[in-house]
Amino acid sequence: MTDYSPGGWERSLDGLAEGLEADLPGRWGAAHCLQRVDSTNRRLLESSTLIPDRYEVCVAREQTAGHGRRGRAWLSSPDASLTFSVGRALWTGEAADPALSLAVGVGVARGLERCGFSGFGFKWPNDLVTADGAKLAGVLVEARAAREDRLAALVVGVGLNRVGADTLGVDRRVADLSQLPGSAEIALPDLLRAVLVELVRAWDGFARSGGLACVAEDYARLDYLRGRKITVLDTGEEGIAAGIDHGNGALLLRRPDGLKRLYSGEISVRVRGDD
Ligand code: BTN
């Protein structure tokens, strides 16, 4: 149950830092739990306390300027959505890698599965969708460059619909956790903790092993696009999705003239019949 009393929302997350520390000792920096912020991603991208070996967290009940890929606004509503970001500074010599959004997407999915949710998949390059393609969550990875006063860093933001997605006024099909098969009533702090821990495990695995091998099996299991006929937005190219290149996260598109690789960047794809 959400506590609506003044300060109640923040209080309900009082034990978050301790819970995270118990699950993954020594891996966490500050955890900011805010009633309202423009964007949790922006908040962490401006943080002066990001360091390479610990993940800092920002979770907000409400975002006034949440944003997603391709410059789109991310609409969410207090208590119906979960909006949070996690970030850390880059290690020396580490570069931002677009395939990270695939690894952390699998991490988010694993967290939801740990909480008993099922009936969803991962849609390359950054969405969790239901079995019929309605969007449940989006992942946004953003990078900042180094400056004199701060290290280069990466921030992963997640927007997850918990209930009432149909009231958000989004111009595409959306879904929420309450619509998933077997969905249990789960307290916000438990949900957040499970998702954060699995996200960071996947991020660590990706960064330390240098690629997607650590999530390959789950990616294949969760792959929403595989075998579907898709169209690349912007170019109109069509083909059948054939999994990903585990070396670089490119989407494999089977076309009459051969296999084509699509690199995530700003590309989005549409499944025929989904919209
Ligand atoms: C997308 O689907 O385009 C990605 C959406 C990511 C939204 C989350 S909500 C928390 C974090 N803060 C933001 O401003 N964006 C991300």
Question: In this predicted structure, what is the pLDDT of residue 135?
Answer: 94
Q: What is the distance in A from the centroid of ligand 1 to the CA of 246?
A: 25
pTM: predicted TM-score of the whole model, two decimal places: 0.94
> Phi, psi at residue 224, to the nearest 5°?
-75, -30
Q: Residue 145: what pLDDT?
A: 94
pLDDT band at residue 209, thresholds of 50, 70 and 90? confident
- Dist. CA 99–CA 242, nearest whole Å: 17
Pocket test for ligand 1, best of 44, 123, 140, 173 (most atoms within 8 A of CB): 140
Q: How far apart are CA 19 and CA 90, in angstroms?
A: 25
What order of strands is seen across the sheet that includes strand 55-63?
A: 28-37, 55-63, 81-89, 153-161, 135-144, 127-130, 120-123
Q: What is the pLDDT of residues 26-56, one digit of tens each?
A: 999 999 999 999 999 999 999 999 999 999 9
pLDDT digits (tens, 9 = 90+) for 112-127: 999 999 999 999 999 9
pLDDT in tens, 248-261: 999 999 999 999 99
Q: What is the pLDDT of residues 218-229, one digit of tens each?
A: 999 999 999 999
CA of 46 to the centre of ligand 1 (A): 16
Hey, which residues does 123 pair with through a beta bridge? 127
63 contacts 37 by C-beta, under 8 angstroms: yes
